[in-house]
Amino acid sequence: MKVAIIKYNSGNIQSMDFALQRLGINAEVTDDEITIRNADKVIFPGVGEASSTMMYLKEKGLDKIICSLSQPVLGVCLGLQLMCAHSEEGNVDCLGIFDEKVYKFIKPQGLNYLKIPHMGWNSLKQMSGPIFQGLTEESWFYFVHSFYAGVGDHTAAAANYIVPFSAGLQKNNFYACQFHPEKSGIAGSRILDNFLSL
């Protein structure tokens, strides 16, 4: 199986590569259009800032490549947010694969124990779709983020931190998760394995 991890100006790509190696997959980290298009599965992970990253994707033509892919594509963390319609981070229009918009967490007054970024383990609700097969609401996933996608028509899993938000999204061949499956232990490995089995 050919798996491509999209290379761009983002952190955290290496940890995804290591997670796939633990599943027996030697992925190729690449920004080459032909390699990406010829892959059986494409992963779009990342940690970074939305507006500068969108500018980079457009400069490299990766925005058009990602949107036109027909094989299964998995966005992770910043990847999920960039696959949405718009982000408050830099007030930027994103790829528009999902209709949901991305908002900044705002800490409620008097609740000082709620830290931003949201960092740590959360369970999920309302899981649906193939990448969440075999998981239950007792499964826990690791999050690190200050921005979140709202709950909408493409929500495939929800979580709650300050407000309900989309922990997973799905539309056609595009899948995404706000949490880091590569850092989420057995449950995260199940997500990746389910995706690779599509």
Confidence of residue 10 (pLDDT cuts 50, 70, 90): confident
Q: Is the pLDDT of residue 9 over 90?
A: no
Catalytic option among 77, 84, 94, 177 = 77
Structure tokens belonging to residue 42? 């494409």
Is 86 an active-site residue? no
Instruction: Report the CATH number of the 3-196 domain.
Output: 3.40.50.880
Is 11's pLDDT higher than 80?
A: no
Cα dihedral 63, 192, 12, 83 sign: positive
Contact yes or no for 169/149 (Cβ under 8 A): yes
pLDDT grade, residue 161 (50/70/90)? very high
Q: Which two tokens stand for residue 149?
A: 């996608």
DSSP for 63-116 reads: HHHHHH--S-EEEETHHHHHTSSEETTTTEE---SS--EEEE--PPTT-TTS-S
Please give the pLDDT value at position 148: 98
Q: What is the mean pLDDT of residues 30-50?
A: 96
Provide the mean pLDDT of the chain. 96
Q: What is the pLDDT of residues 125-147, one digit of tens each?
A: 999 999 999 999 999 999 999 99
Q: Is 14 left (phi over 0), alpha (psi -120 to 50) or beta?
A: alpha
Clarify whether 77 is annotated catalytic: yes
Dihedral of CA atoms 195, 44, 169, 97 in degrees, nearest 10, equals -130
- In the residue annotation, 180 being an active-site residue is answered as yes
3-state secondary structure of 164: strand
Instruction: Give the pLDDT band (50/70/90) at residue 87.
Output: very high
Q: Which residue among 118, 145, 154, 180 is the active-site one?
A: 180
From 89, 145, 154, 182, active-site residue: 182
Q: Domain locations in the chain?
A: 3-196
